[in-house]
Structure 1
Amino acid sequence: MKILYHHRTASRDGQSTHIEEMIGGLRANGHEVWECAPSVGGQDGGGGGSAGWVGRLKALLPKPLYELAEVAYSLVAYRRLVHSIRERRPDGIYERYNLFLLAGIWAKKRFGLPLILEVNAPMAIERAEYGGLALPGLAKRLEAYVWRRADWVLPVTEVLAQHLVSVGVDRRRIQVIPNGINEAHYRNLPTAEEAKRSLGLEGRLVIGFTGFVREWDRLDRIVAWIARQPVERNVHLLVIGDGPARAEIERCAADLKVADRLSFTGAVPRARVPELSMAFDIALQTALVPYASPLCLFEYLALSKTIVAPDQPNHHEILSHGVNAWLYDPADPQGIEKALETLATDQALSARIASAARDVIADKQLTWEQHARRVAGLMNAGLTKGAGAAS
């Protein structure tokens, strides 16, 4: 099958990882895949921000004009899609949803191609809450317009699927496909002790976090908890990544006189993250929006680490408390600290949870190749019944 993968992502972060892995999974299943997307305008160092000229434009334009420019960009994307479709003659379109992006729906209607829409967040809500929207009404209307007209909509969690239903998407056209792992990245890794030795952390109980560190991750709480631990526990916080909250976390560690118990690797190539993460004894999944499917969670499972995560519905879709993870109450001011205390003092419990973690990948079929197989099956079903039913 020939598939055109359409997106508007121009940054190098978790979004690009999802894109690359899904394309790789489809190709591994024997399909021809072409990418139809803007050129990456710059590197964000894993920061998750807008890349290159996109970020500059966003900073310069008043918010209403920037949002109208996003809508207008659909014309540019549509021309690119039309050219790719005429050149490649794909059997269908797979699109990563983004707010104000209408080109995929237009191309689907014009060429009669099935369109599968991957949805990672309710962008109209997310941007209104975190980045601000000048035109929220327009954003919601266009979001619903796109969601309702795709042949299949693939939210990353059941929580997000319920939101799609609430705005009028037919439940029969929704298939939940979470994030996943590439098994090739988890072969021939060092042991935990070897990984610790390479980082100068031999003999320490390592609490680990991977990703772009922001204020809401509240790693300062972890530093404060470490400062209260007996010296003989030898607890250490290892952060694989960087971010705007780094300076404050390092300042907190210095103030509490535990700077020697905190390490940041800084931004590292994604290929190195698994080998470095093998040094973790306990892996942190910090607070996040209720509809998310965080990449690092699946990586922790693949590494067979003891996971500490907030007790919330999207995690219940993947994790079981006390079996393959330890879930804490995010509303409890000491929730994550209590979880760490429990696992730090009960090594047998921690070991049992870590041992069960890796099985989740196989039990729930959480590899990118398996996800791609499902996507191809849906695309084939769209071809069989004929595209346009959702138009």
Structure 2
Amino acid sequence: MKILYHHRIASKDGQYVHVEEIIKALRKQGHDVIVVSPQLVEQSDFGSDGGWVSKLRQNVPQIISESLEFSYSIWVFCKLCYAIMKHRPDCIYERYNLFLPSGIWAKKIFQLKLLLEVNSPLYDERKKYGGIALNRIAKWSEYYAWRNADHVLPVTRVLASYIIKAGVPDSRITVLPNGIDPSLFYPSDEPNRDKEFHDKLVIGFVGFCREWHRLDQVLKLIASEENPNLMLLIVGDGPVIEQLQELARSLQLQERFHITGLVDRQNMPHWLNQIDIAIQPAVTPWASPLKLIEYLAKGKAIVAPNNPNIRELLSDDVNALLFEPENAESMIQKIREIIEDKSLRMRLQTQAHNTIKEQNLTWNHNAMRIERIFQENITQSGK
């Protein structure tokens, strides 16, 4: 098929990984994928926050920022129309965003089938964490996109419940979690370790660390354990790094605490090789965390919150240990159990890796499901 892939992501971060991997997997299946996206992201390095667009939105009143955001959808609609007339695609695949009805407009005018990938209930998320000025337009744009897509692809069943409440029938919803590329993410042996991590028991966190991740408690746990080979590795950055470094110095853990800073995507498998116990301290209630699936693929002993969306991937004492959400003491206790029980650690690591195959958590499998849904929708329409 010839697929028009449309997204409005301006930052090159974790969400862009999803975009890039789906496009790559669809092309691997033999499909011709035409991408319509902000030019800014194609020119950026991994880790970019959106450049001047992000700065503009931060420095103007919210009502102006949102008005510009909605107005941008008219420009995007023109780009989509041009791309459709030029390339004559068979269908449209769109990554949902707020204030973005453009794809639905284009699909209606050109009578094309549109699959809508949804990674977050953005109206609820933005209203909760940053507020919304154009409240009615924002909510309308979300419901309009969800209800008028031919099929909706949320990343979790929890997120699917939001879409069902918006009036989309369950028959037009397929849950499609994040995935991995098994040629890059697979278990590795101890010889793949860097010298400073060789023969160490490494607790690892991947991402942008903030206060609510409670990594200070992990450092205190390391200090309390009578195990000189126990370490904490942070693969990423964040606003609490300086405080954590200061705490490590006060606990005399400088040699047992390592921070990589921002890591290029191609180096992520290498850094995951250094980790034994991987922690997911917190998560939004609807997300399908990419790093969690990469932990599974790499065969890590995982500690994660006992949230409904996490239980879609993990089972307590089967492929992970789950702790009470927002309870640092519970998280630390689960980490301690894995530190002190080698057989438990090895069992969790083995079953974590097995989960990838059991749940088909790969980008190629996602691409095959997308292809199948497109074919079903196009066949039903008689085209």
The 2-side partners of 1:276 and 1:77 are apart by 38
Q: Which residue of 2 aligns with 1:104?
A: 103
- Assess if the C-alpha contact under 8 Å between 2:282 and 2:326 holds in 1: no
Q: Which residue of 1 aligns with 2:329?
A: 334
Provide the secondary structure at the position in 1 that maps to 2:366: helix
1:331 positional shift: 4.2
Q: Which residue of 1 aligns with 2:155?
A: 156
**Could you tell me which amino acid in structure 1 is paired with residue 38 of structure 2?**
P
Q: Which residue of 1 aligns with 2:225?
A: 229
**Cα pair distance change 1:209/1:331, threshold 3 Å:** closer
Runs of 4+ in 1 over 4 A off after TM superposition: 41-45
- Assess if the C-alpha contact under 8 Å between 2:217 and 2:328 holds in 1: no
**Cα pair distance change 1:212/1:202, threshold 3 Å:** same
Give 1:213's match in structure 2, choosing from 202, 209, 213.
Answer: 209
Indicate yes or no: 2:8 matched with 1:12: no
**Cα pair distance change 1:249/1:199, threshold 3 Å:** farther
Tell me, which stretches of 5 or more residues in structure 1 are unaligned? none
**Cα pair distance change 1:62/1:199, threshold 3 Å:** farther
Give 1:194's match in structure 2, choosing from 165, 170, 191.
Answer: 191
1:257 positional shift: 2.5
Matches of residues 104-183 of structure 1 in structure 2 within 5 Å?
104-183=103-182
Indicate yes or no: 2:260 matched with 1:259: no
The 2-side partners of 1:339 and 1:101 are apart by 42
Q: Which residue of 2 aligns with 1:27?
A: 27
Indicate yes or no: 2:364 matched with 1:363: no
1:199 positional shift: 4.7
**Cα pair distance change 1:44/1:387, threshold 3 Å:** farther
The 2-side partners of 1:329 and 1:137 are apart by 36
Q: Considering Cα pairs closer than 8 Å and 6+ residues apart, tell me whether 1 or 2 has the greater RCO.
A: 1
Provide the secondary structure at the position in 1 that maps to 2:183: helix
Question: TM-score of the superposition, structure 1-length normalised?
Answer: 0.94
The 1-side partners of 2:188 and 2:347 are apart by 20
Provide the secondary structure at the position in 1 that maps to 2:23: helix
Provide the secondary structure at the position in 2 that maps to 1:238: strand
1:22 positional shift: 0.3
The 1-side partners of 2:382 and 2:44 are apart by 37
The 2-side partners of 1:38 and 1:288 are apart by 28
1:43 positional shift: 4.5
**Could you tell me which amino acid in structure 1 is paired with residue 51 of structure 2?**
G
**Cα pair distance change 1:199/1:242, threshold 3 Å:** farther
* CA deviation profile, 1:292-349 (whole Å, cap 9, x unmatched): 0000011011111111111111111111111111111124340110001111111101
**Cα pair distance change 1:248/1:387, threshold 3 Å:** farther
The 1-side partners of 2:370 and 2:53 are apart by 30
The 2-side partners of 1:331 and 1:60 are apart by 32
The 1-side partners of 2:100 and 2:381 are apart by 24
Q: Which residue of 2 aligns with 1:46?
A: 47
Provide the secondary structure at the position in 1 that maps to 2:39: coil
Provide the secondary structure at the position in 2 that maps to 1:81: helix
* CA deviation profile, 1:136-158 (whole Å, cap 9, x unmatched): 33211221111111000100000
**Could you tell me which amino acid in structure 1 is paired with residue 33 of structure 2?**
V
**Cα pair distance change 1:285/1:387, threshold 3 Å:** farther
Q: Paired residues, what number?
A: 382
Indicate yes or no: 2:372 matched with 1:377: yes
1:235 positional shift: 1.2
The 2-side partners of 1:190 and 1:174 are apart by 36
Tell me, which stretches of 5 or more residues in structure 2 are unaligned? none
Q: Superposition RMSD on alpha carbons, in Å? A: 1.7
Moved more, 263-272 or 366-375: 263-272
- Assess if the C-alpha contact under 8 Å between 2:214 and 2:328 holds in 1: no
**Could you tell me which amino acid in structure 1 is paired with residue 204 of structure 2?**
G
1:251 positional shift: 2.1
The 1-side partners of 2:356 and 2:239 are apart by 32
Matches of residues 296-315 of structure 1 in structure 2 within 5 Å?
296-315=291-310
Give 2:320's match in structure 1, choosing from 292, 317, 325.
Answer: 325
The 1-side partners of 2:87 and 2:256 are apart by 54
**Could you tell me which amino acid in structure 2 is paired with residue 149 of structure 1?**
N
**Could you tell me which amino acid in structure 2 is paired with residue 34 of structure 1?**
I
* CA deviation profile, 1:250-299 (whole Å, cap 9, x unmatched): 22222333222210111121111112211111011121111000000110
